A and B are shown apart, each in its own frame.
Chain A
């Protein structure tokens, strides 16, 4: 199995993700991610983004697009050999769902 470049550049990915998290901290609580295959067997990076309740309630799509574009500005997904997927939930939704992968 050929692994994507992303698996060898985890330190860079980590740095850039934290930078986006910091830049958008008014609306973004934290960003978690993992590299694995998607439904079709293509390599992908799956971002799990916890938003503030206010951002999720009042400007969800706007914030989501901002997160997606900031990540894409800092990480060349094509070069990393992955397709980027983004999932979102609010702080209160995470508090109710209590999933470790999002904590």
Chain B
């Protein structure tokens, strides 16, 4: 997980640059980097299950951003979700928000970022790390990674 953690640290570093007058470029890079930290956190776990280490990077590149947030969670009983399913549902919502922030940071040149907004986005990314590490060994979490990759549920 070292690469994802390093990216998240980089995001905090970028967000803190510029003192009281941060540059929009630093704030935007911070948001974008925080998203990629979460992105790599998830795909690293997925590709780690692939038996051939030399193919893992290639497999990771097959993830599509749009598909990742669009993957629906399969509940055992939607009206009575398990604790892991609830946590995962929260993570999906957080990841979707982070993904939109990243898109706006990278492509919406009209948007002005404040440091508060960026700090909140980074806190969101940190929550994704914590939530994922709490549920990653659950079967439902591993199944959802498959869905994010594009695999259909049985």
Q: Which residues of A contact B (CB under 8 A)?
A: 38-40, 44, 51, 56, 60-61, 64, 83, 85-90, 93-94, 97, 99
Contacts and interface: CB of A to CB of B under 8 A. Distances in A.
25 contacts: A39-B103, A39-B104, A39-B107, A40-B66, A44-B100, A56-B116, A60-B119, A60-B120, A60-B123, A61-B119, A61-B123, A64-B120, A64-B123, A83-B96, A85-B97, A85-B100, A87-B117, A88-B116, A88-B117, A89-B114, A90-B114, A90-B116, A93-B114, A94-B114, A99-B112
B115 interface: yes
A83 B100 CA distance: 11
Given A89-B114, A97-B114, A38 B120 contact: no
A93 B113 CA distance: 9
B70 interface: yes
B113 to A, nearest CB: 9
Interface residues of B, number: 18
A40 B70 contact: yes
B116 A93 contact: yes
The 7 residue pairs across chains A and B that have the minimum distance between CB atoms: A39-B103, A89-B114, A93-B114, A61-B123, A56-B116, A97-B112, A64-B120
A64 B66 CA distance: 26
B110 to A, nearest CB: 10
Interface in B72-112: 96-97, 99-100, 103-104, 107, 112
B99 A93 contact: no
A99 B114 CA distance: 11
B99 A60 contact: no
A31 to B, nearest CB: 14
A88 B104 CA distance: 14
A93 B116 CA distance: 8
Contacts of A39: 99-100, 103-104, 107
B131 interface: no
A88 B120 contact: yes
Nearest to B108: A39
Nearest to A53: B116
Contacts of A94: 114
A86 B120 CA distance: 10
Contacts of B120: 60-61, 64, 87-88
